[in-house]
Amino acid sequence: MSAENLITSAIIKRYSEKLASNLDLDVAFVGAGPSALVAARDLAAAGFKTAIFEKSLAPGGGIWGGGMLFNEAVVQDNALPSLSSFGITTEPVAGAEGYYTLDSVEMASGLIFGALRAGARIFNSVSVEDIIFKNAKVNGLVINWTMVKRQGMPVDPLTVVAEIVVDATGHPSEILKFASEKAQVKLDTATGGIVGEKPMWVDNGELETVENTREYYPGLFACGMSATNASGGYRMGPIFGGMLLSGQKVAVQIAEKLRAN
């Protein structure tokens, strides 16, 4: 076999094995932002079979750009233990007690590597176009290549079965929207549907992101900005402590539910 075909064969074989071994999961995350990466790391480290499906080429969500492409982000001191557990460095903000800056590229790459090292799998450039819904429960995902979706190609999708699905799609709450509009179920929100994100209020946004992290329908959780959008919380911009704490919280909730089952 030529070197060219050896390389091609190795890639096809290894990827096929990786995908095939992650078609039946304990937890499937949609979106690879900070809350999902933290939660996936914690759940994989606890022994749960966990994978993330990210529609973009680069996992990390909105971390990379920091604030308006200034690749620095801010966290409050309650998020430092989480960052430290990933080996990510921070620097205190002079004159602003309790606030720290960090390099957003280091943060994104550190969270990604930490999740992978713990045993979570990340499938990038894979879009979720629907959910599996059976017996009044969300049972998994319907997936396709992102480029197939963007080009509008008539290519049928494949499926991933999961005991728990986590909407970590950020501001659009894409998976909760499938449940609300396509499955026509009532979500655990004030209206039974997606309430919609409020304008920016940093302090409240940080708190509400964590408070709104929960199970919204049997088998379907939301974390990060998806939870904020679902429950009508405030947005908070390039401060990421609430996102990290949301990831920790949803991991604990999911682990408790899976162990109870």
Share of the chain above pLDDT 70, in %: 100
pLDDT at 261: 84
Tens digits of residue pLDDT in 31-45? 999 999 999 999 999
pLDDT band at 187 (very low <50, low <70, confident <90, very high): very high
Neighbours of 95 (CB within 10 A): 6
192 has a pLDDT exceeding 90:
yes
Q: What percent of the chain has pLDDT over 90?
A: 95
pLDDT at 169: 98
Confidence of residue 102 (pLDDT cuts 50, 70, 90): very high
Rounded Cα distance between 171 and 250, Å, is: 17
Which residue, 240, 248, 253, is CA-closest to 72? 240
pLDDT tens, residue by residue, 72-93? 999 999 999 999 999 999 999 9
The average pLDDT across 209-234 equals: 97
The average pLDDT across 3-8 equals 91
> What is the spatial distance between Cα 223 and Cα 250, in angstroms, rounded to a whole number?
7
Mean of all residue pLDDT scores within the chain: 96
pLDDT at residue 1 is higher than 90: no
Q: Band the pLDDT of 55: cuts 50, 70, 90.
A: very high
- For residues 251 and 210, the answer to whether their CB atoms sit within 8 Å is no
Name beta bridge partners: 200.
235
Could you write out the three-class secondary structure of 106-155? HHHHHHHHHHHHHCCEEEECEEEEEEEEECCEEEEEEEEEHHHHHHCCCC
> Could you say which DSSP state residue 182 is in?
I
Q: How confident is the model at residue 137 (pLDDT cuts 50, 70, 90)?
A: very high
What's the confidence (pLDDT) of residue 4? 84
pLDDT at 40: 98
- Angstrom distance (rounded) from CA 168 to CA 219: 14
Please give the distance of CA 222 from its chain centroid, rounded to a whole number.
Answer: 9
Answer CATH for 24-61+104-260 from 3.30.70.1350, 3.40.50.1450, 3.40.50.300, 3.50.50.60: 3.50.50.60
The answer, yes or no, to whether residue 203 has pLDDT greater than 90, is no
pLDDT at 253: 98
Residue spans per domain, the chain: 24-61+104-260
